[in-house]
Chain A
Amino acid sequence: MNFDPRYSGRNFTSVGTRPLRPDGVDKVTGRARYGADFNMAGQLVGRVLRSPHAHATIRRIDTSKAEKLAGVKAVITAADLPDLTDGDAAMYDILDNCMAREKALYDGHAVAAVAAVDARTARQALKLIEVDYEVLPHVTDVDEAMKHTAPLLNDAIFTEGLEEKPAKPSNVTKRTQFGHGDIHEGFGRADFVVERSFKTEQTHQGYIEPHACVANVSSDGTADLWVCTQGHFVYRQHCAQLLGMEASKLRVTSSEIGGGFGGKTHVWAEPVALALSRKAGRPVKLVMTRDEVFRASGPTSATSIDVRIGARKDGTITAAEATLRYSCGPYAGMWAEIGAMTAFACYRLENVRTVGYEVLVNRPKTAAYRAPSAPMAAFAVESAIDELAKEIGMDPVEFRIRNAAQEGTRSSYGPVYGPIGIGPTLEAAKNHPHMKAPLGKNQGRGMACGFWFNFGGQTCTDLNIGMDGSVSLAVGTVDVGGSRASLSLVAAEELGIAYEQVKAVVADTSSLGYNDMTDGSRGTFSSSMATISAARNAIKILRERAAQMWDIPIDDVVWEKGHAIAKGEKYGNLAALSLREIAAASGKTGGPIAGHSELVADGAGVSFATHICDIEVDPETGATRVLRYTVVQDAGKAVHPTYVEGQYQGGAAQGIGWALNEEYVYGKDGRLQNPGFLDYRIPVCSDLPMIDTQILEIPNPNHPYGVRGVGETSIVPPLAAIANAVSNAAGVRMTHIPMSPPRILAAIEAERGGRWSK
């Protein structure tokens, strides 16, 4: 295929407009089908037994009593999910996380599961399963886990990435390092140096829809899985591998999704539901409770980060350094590595070094959360940048502009940037009316920048033209934020027809080739590229058919505004043929007309944002109120601006929750204290102001329309922007996220040197 993905400046007709989304009416009327809305005749209820211990050896599991209970159709343990991972360590971790094998590694770790005729029987059966645990010492704090005295989660782990292989096992699975230049030399030239340590607590993606699936394994070895996921093709691969099936025999259909944000890129319940169905010989529906969602799925890393930045009096940064420790849950990850890569990505630095440590703790396995790892690194770095600007006596925006990365800058993590948006977002922020608005008593303003890589990846799309001239678009990237609307706009743009003539669906795994999942802000970027390519392939066929209808050579037929046009003087009398007319004749000109595309979408184009916010702090209680919030972000090209704005606002809202109140609270016993939305405090509507957005469009050279991913970057700056605002309002630097009222009040009191009134 000779598809040219390069950007070609063009005028758009459909792209950039704001039509209603095709899935909107069904969603607001309750007709849309989410994970738990699938049902099958004869389906059983699956439920999972979870470890109440943070760390324990599983000596023995006795399921005999549960099996004897009337109405129980299957009970499974790790023995029913034998290890077929064949040395693939990452897959083994996924397997062990789905069903604990030798040890329970966190409060909530699955140890057994049942399928029964109803929920009550299933619940009773769980109580009848006897698990003999040997409780082990546990560690949940990232800094504690790094100490030599900490309980070891896995004594086969020796820190990778050190110069010498260590003699003793450790909870630190890996050390990574990025950067260039000579930081010692750089700090030597600095007039001002800021050095600080920061902590962030663990948060959950907080999607409203819990994980849910229905699994149906047939006795012939084929199976169906209906599931709420961000990537049904990836779920198919993982489930097939874990259950020893051929991928093509497992058909996975994705439901509508009530939020994922990275948390639905990982299998938890699905292999368990399939194993239960296989054993019971009946369909099994498994829906996690909110308690299970918090205890066993999600969360992001908790972190501990040290930052040091030096600058000259004129505001030039001479050196920057960060050490980042990220918790991974009980299995190896690359979370600190990503944090170390993103930490200084906004800046043009001569001398920079970041070091990341991946740390095992007795908490649930860390999963991606919207620009995973970047918000915490940005919090630490952007806080220090703000403080440094103050010490130098420079405006924080000017200081950042002076040091911002540009086209041609070698990034702190290696690559050299093409055209990028950090400078323009900073300039836009500087000129935004928000920056000049007056502040009242106890109010503070903060701003911060953020970076995210954006991903592309494998994509496969089908575009079919019906005989009535309507177009159905089948894509393989799950729609998490309006991408069906955006992709329909792209198809309409390319074909030159109306948006309303296109209907996009997310196809199941048996209907399309492999697609990577909707993560890394890749959904619209990569599927729009595939849609353009599929549409261009369809246009080629449309031209062929028109040529046939006219009986002229195809090279004399061009496609313009939804019509085939016979080129040149000699065909002067031929009226243009519309897509509809060509489609109507297709039965006689060679059959159905379709365009297909399979590609690896490269060159996703990095993304930058600058956020501004105003916060009021009650100095007597530490209570905060977000007064105003503005997001400025580069979209490359906003295909559907409303949904781009929605992504900007959503990321900011999640970041505000993370910054102010969301956190996993563990007791001394290693048990999660707040596995519910009452005490895991995501913001409610009345906590948020209207979040203002400004879309910048700096075309991505590697996409025909200039599109960049927009889904994730918006969660990167808020932690830092809010921390800077709170610090300015309260008059004390906040270094621990979330900045809950007790933490703010304690910081204010400590700063005053005052003691708590007794």
Chain B
Amino acid sequence: MRYIRPLSMEDAVGQLASSPGTAAILAGGSDLLVRMKGGFIEPDLIVDIKAIDGLGEIRETAEGFIIGAAVSCALMGESAALKREWPGVVEAAKLIGSKQVQGRCTIVGNLCNASPAADSVPALVAAGAMALIAGPGGRRTAAVEAVPTGPGKTSLAKGEIIEAILLDRRAPRSGDAYLRFIPRTEMDIAVVSAGVNLTLDEQGVVKSARVALGAVAPTVLLVEEAAEALIGRKLDEAALERLAKVCSGACRPIDDKRGTVEFRRKVAGVLARRAATTAYARAGGK
């Protein structure tokens, strides 16, 4: 097994693309090392991306935020601007593991580990985040929801590395929120989760919305029908009822050690409703 720590993205992409055996990208390592220790994977090459110039920074531009792939979730929690504009994304990142885990782990790692239960992903999907991807053929962007394709699988090609996550500037009168269900208070994997992002018009009517659910299907679900349940309405009881119903219906969960099908269905609706209520309040809705 070879471990390298390239200083440039070009070098990292080149090494990955030309490696003959299995290769793994190392960000915080809080998934990768656990999988290696468990004997599930034995990569021939490990490419640590943390020394690549600029990858450890959050940059603010006129268009939005560029969150480097090596930015730890703890660092996201320390960015006042990010917290102000994307509280739902930051609260999702800050739910991962514990303080210790957050000191290492990244949202890109969370995304690329491709677990249906990944905490930051529904929040990113609801936020409409994009992934900036560097590869042997140059750079491209993709919607976050297009990256995971199934448990443990992504759409990234050999040699491709996600360089950053891109978030727009927060539109006026808009807010986001993320909630997950775990049986304990921390150190647990989401049994169900929901991220909601919405924008209101001047009358407090929902103008646009995105609703994403986690841990209820092989990948995070972007539920368009749920957004439709909210758009054009104030967040009245009927809208919330409809939202919960649509979300429960959209789930394609399984029975497993973490929860039952019935439980996930029901609680997906409950969480979507609660997250929408918080997002609405954050957007200034009354």
Which positions in A face B, CB cutoff 8 Å?
123, 620-623, 660-661, 665, 673-674, 678-679, 681, 683-684, 686-687, 740-742, 745-746, 749, 756-758
Contact = CB atoms under 8 A, between A and B. Distances in A.
B2 interface: no
A686 B245 CA distance: 32
B188 A681 contact: yes
A642 B259 CA distance: 39
A292 to B, nearest CB: 13
A746 B262 contact: yes
A619 to B, nearest CB: 10
Contacts of A679: 189, 257-258
B187 A684 contact: yes
Contacts of B244: 757
Contacts of B257: 665, 673-674, 679
A81 to B, nearest CB: 27
B248 A742 contact: no
Nearest to B39: A123
B207 interface: no
Given A745-B266, A757-B265, A623 B181 contact: yes
B269 interface: yes
A622 B191 CA distance: 13
Interface of B: 39, 181, 183-189, 191, 244-245, 248-249, 256-260, 262-263, 265-267, 269-271
Given A742-B259, A758-B249, A681 B267 contact: no
B181 A621 contact: yes
Given A673-B256, A740-B183, A746-B260, 20 more contacts: A123-B39, A620-B270, A621-B267, A622-B263, A623-B181, A623-B183, A674-B257, A678-B187, A678-B189, A679-B189, A681-B184, A683-B184, A684-B184, A684-B187, A686-B186, A745-B267, A757-B248, A757-B266, A757-B269, A758-B248
Interface of B is mostly: mixed
A678 B245 contact: no
A756 B262 CA distance: 7
B268 to A, nearest CB: 10
5 contacts: A678-B188, A679-B257, A686-B184, A686-B186, A741-B181
Contacts of A686: 184-186
Nearest to A679: B257
Nearest to B268: A757
Contacts of A622: 263
A756 B251 CA distance: 13
Given A681-B184, A684-B186, A686-B186, A758 B265 contact: yes
Contacts of B191: 741
B248 A687 contact: no
A622 B39 CA distance: 36
B259 to A, nearest CB: 5
A681 B257 CA distance: 11
Contacts of B269: 757
A123 B36 CA distance: 14
Q: Which residue, of B184, B260, B271, has the highest number of chain A Cβ atoms within 10 A?
A: B184
B209 to A, nearest CB: 21
A756 B183 contact: no
Contacts of B265: 756-758
Contacts of B187: 678, 684
B183 A684 contact: no
A16 B180 CA distance: 47
A746 B183 contact: no
Given A620-B270, A674-B257, A678-B189, A661 B262 contact: no
A621 B180 CA distance: 11
Contacts of B185: 684, 686-687
A623 B274 CA distance: 15
Nearest to A667: B257
A742 B263 contact: yes
A612 B249 CA distance: 41
Nearest to A622: B263
A679 B262 CA distance: 19
Contacts of B188: 678, 681
B175 to A, nearest CB: 22
A749 B266 CA distance: 10
A681 B258 CA distance: 10
A351 B22 CA distance: 71
A594 B42 CA distance: 60
Q: Which residue, of B185, B188, B189, B249, has the highest number of chain A Cβ atoms within 10 A?
A: B185
A756 B184 contact: no
A674 B189 CA distance: 13
Contacts of A749: 266
Contacts of A742: 259-260, 262-263
A582 B188 CA distance: 61
Given A665-B257, A674-B257, A758-B248, A660 B263 contact: no
Given A673-B257, A745-B266, A746-B263, A660 B245 contact: no
Nearest to B267: A621
Q: Which residue, of A621, A665, A678, A679, has the highest number of chain B Cβ atoms within 10 A?
A: A621
Top 9 nearest A-B pairs (CB, nearest first) are A742-B263, A686-B185, A665-B257, A673-B257, A620-B270, A756-B262, A742-B260, A674-B257, A661-B183
